[in-house]
Amino acid sequence: MEIPILKIEEFLIVSFQTELSDQEITKLTEEMLEKIKKTNAKGLIIDITALRIIDSFMARCLSSIADMATLLGARTVVVGMQPAVALTLVELGLRIKWKIQTALNLERGIALLRTVMRSEKDSVYE
């Protein structure tokens, strides 16, 4: 499955389709990190609107991706989580371990990333 990584201004956007195999996730992760480096992207937006399930494995993957992106200088936000998935994640007990920023949609995701970037920039000057 070819999953495109799009660039919008200083951000990259990827849409996760449901039923990605472990191999596909690994490959996609590499591609995302490569592209962050290449384009000097400041933010990564992962659209999970189509994910009908996020199990502990996928949650860990997303977490890793966010950590790796941070090392490359990009913040990550996940957008479009389905209500059933949110509830299930809470019940799974992953709420506490979930450290990734979330937003309801692309627009809010971008706004969130910009806020985070701004506050980081400001704190550098303190």
Asked if residues 78 and 101 have their Cβ atoms less than 8 Å apart, the reply is yes
| Residue 105 DSSP code | S
Q: Is 41 exposed, middle or buried (0-12, 13-18, 19+ CB in 10 A)?
A: buried
The yes or no reply on residue 74 touching another protein (CB under 8 A) is no
Smallest distance, Å, CB 17 to another protein? Answer: 12
Smallest distance, Å, CB 105 to another protein? Answer: 6
Report the alpha-carbon distance of residue 113 to residue 116 in Å, rounded. 5
Q: Which two tokens stand for residue 92?
A: 């799974």
Nearer to another protein, 9 or 91 (CB): 91
Name residues contacting another protein, limited to 11-70 (CB under 8 A): 19, 21-23, 52-57, 60
- The residue ranges that bind another protein (CB under 8 A) are 19, 21-23, 52-57, 60, 79, 81-95, 98, 102-105, 108, 115, 118-119, 122, 125
